[in-house]
Amino acid sequence: MSAFLVKGWCPDAWRPMATGDGLLVRIKPRLAHLGRQQVLALCDLAETYGNGIIDVSRRANFQIRGVTEQGWSSLVSELVEHGLVDSNATLEKRRNVLMAPDWAEGDDTHRIAIDLFARLDRLPELPGKIGFVIDAGKAPCLLGEAGDFRIERCADNGLILRAAGHASGIGVALGEEADRLVALAHWFMESGGAAAGRMARHGADLPDWACGSTPPAAASAPIAPGPVPRGMAYGVAFGQIEARLLSAAVCACGAESLRITPWRVLVMDGAPPSALPGLICDPVDPLLRAEACPGAPFCPQASVATRDLAQRLAPAITGRLHVSGCAKGCAASQAADVTLTGRAGRFDLSRHAHPGAPADLAGLEPGAVLAHFGVA
């Protein structure tokens, strides 16, 4: 198995992460939403201070890549000016909130998110990867996404508070959702959760007020590329796009604003159905079934290049494909039908597995991987 380093924290704008192509600066769009001018500003800043590459993360965040240490401070100042980053570094760090992207102003998801943002200063100092999930639409759509303290829709149309690692939760009264999330975060820390790092790994019994037998309602399908009620949805292959292409896409389709999802799909509010360069509009495009981390040389922990191989392989794979630069498996948390894990410059092939799982075939050169799947 490849050796890799678990950092135990997530970057943000105030605490960037060093990668193989410079500093990575994460932007957490409030309400998973950016106005048109904010999108254009983000793209301009990515080209001015970074290498022009923007990541779309599985936590519904944007990441500017290739930032220099000399330019980082100026970049943060401009991000704050455009309302893309909080001027308070502590509050920015705490705003790890994943919310259903199809919210409407004044609905439960929107209301609870606003309430929680107003209470960020009441949160304890949590482990860096801890996050909140607000999934209060007509049906939950984020059940497959990671998150520690959750508000979700249940079958009787009510809302439940649920701790990750528990199949069911407890009903919560209208208007009390944010307070319950804050209380659960405090209980987590007071009961020794910091040692576990994540709620799902925390072995303490939940308090009575957070323990219930109500499961979430059946999940709705994630947003896929194509026409949607608010406009047009587009996929982003491997969660990465050039800033110039994103800027051109927003201008070409006349989008009023942009919503970011955890499925590496962007919703252009107000956009008509149309194809846009650099984005996926076909809901059955094989690249939507493929995950690949940046790989070498962009990640110092990866020993192999990943995305060119994944792009060539995707049409030949039935089911999901995951090409990972190391055994850490950053690009996807779920097992894939075909998983390739980089190890010492070659690939280990596993089926129905996570990266780093025992290999069905080990030590394959890229050419051997392609030949195995009949790709010329």
Question: Is 94 part of any domain?
Answer: no
> What are the tokens at 136?
């209060």
Tell me how far apart the alpha carbons of residues 7 and 199 are, in angstroms, rounded to a whole number: 18
Question: Is 6 part of any domain?
Answer: no
Cβ neighbors of 71 (< 8 A, separation 6 or more) are: 48, 49
Please state the φ and ψ torsions of residue 32, each to the nearest 5 degrees: 55, 35
**Statement to judge: residues 201 and 241 lie in one domain:** no
Question: Is 274 part of any domain?
Answer: no
**Statement to judge: residues 239 and 302 lie in one domain:** no
Question: Is 136 part of any domain?
Answer: yes
Residue 332's nearest CA partner among 285, 287, 304, 291 is: 291
Say if residues 129 and 10 touch (Cβ distance below 8 Å): yes
**Statement to judge: residues 173 and 227 lie in one domain:** no
For the chain, the domain total comes to 3
Question: Is 239 part of any domain?
Answer: yes
**Statement to judge: residues 134 and 205 lie in one domain:** yes
Question: Is 95 part of any domain?
Answer: no
Q: Which range of residues forms the domain containing residue 240? A: 17-87+223-269
Question: Is 301 part of any domain?
Answer: yes
Question: Is 185 part of any domain?
Answer: yes
To the nearest 10°, report the CA torsion of 77, 78, 84, 89. 0
Please state the φ and ψ torsions of residue 190, each to the nearest 5 degrees: -70, -25
**Statement to judge: residues 111 and 166 lie in one domain:** yes
**Statement to judge: residues 141 and 195 lie in one domain:** yes
Say if residues 210 and 184 touch (Cβ distance below 8 Å): yes
Tell me how far apart the alpha carbons of residues 125 and 133 are, in angstroms, rounded to a whole number: 18
Q: In what order do the strands lie in the sheet with 149-153?
A: 97-99, 132-135, 149-153, 159-163, 170-171
- Measured CA to CA in angstroms, residue 209 lies from 108, 118, 142, 160, 172 at distances of 21, 23, 23, 11, 9
pLDDT tens sequence for the chain (376 residues): 344 454 556 899 999 999 888 999 999 999 999 999 999 999 999 999 999 999 999 899 999 999 999 999 999 999 999 999 999 999 999 999 999 999 999 999 999 999 999 999 999 999 989 999 999 999 999 999 999 999 999 999 999 999 999 999 999 999 999 999 999 999 999 999 999 999 999 999 999 999 999 999 999 999 999 999 999 999 999 999 999 999 999 999 999 999 999 999 999 999 999 999 999 999 999 999 999 999 988 888 899 999 999 999 999 999 999 999 998 888 887 899 999 999 999 999 999 999 999 999 999 999 999 999 999 7
- The amino acid sitting at 141 is C
**Statement to judge: residues 186 and 261 lie in one domain:** no
pTM reported for the whole predicted model: 0.91
Tell me how far apart the alpha carbons of residues 32 and 103 are, in angstroms, rounded to a whole number: 9
Tell me how far apart the alpha carbons of residues 308 and 149 are, in angstroms, rounded to a whole number: 37
**Statement to judge: residues 83 and 230 lie in one domain:** yes
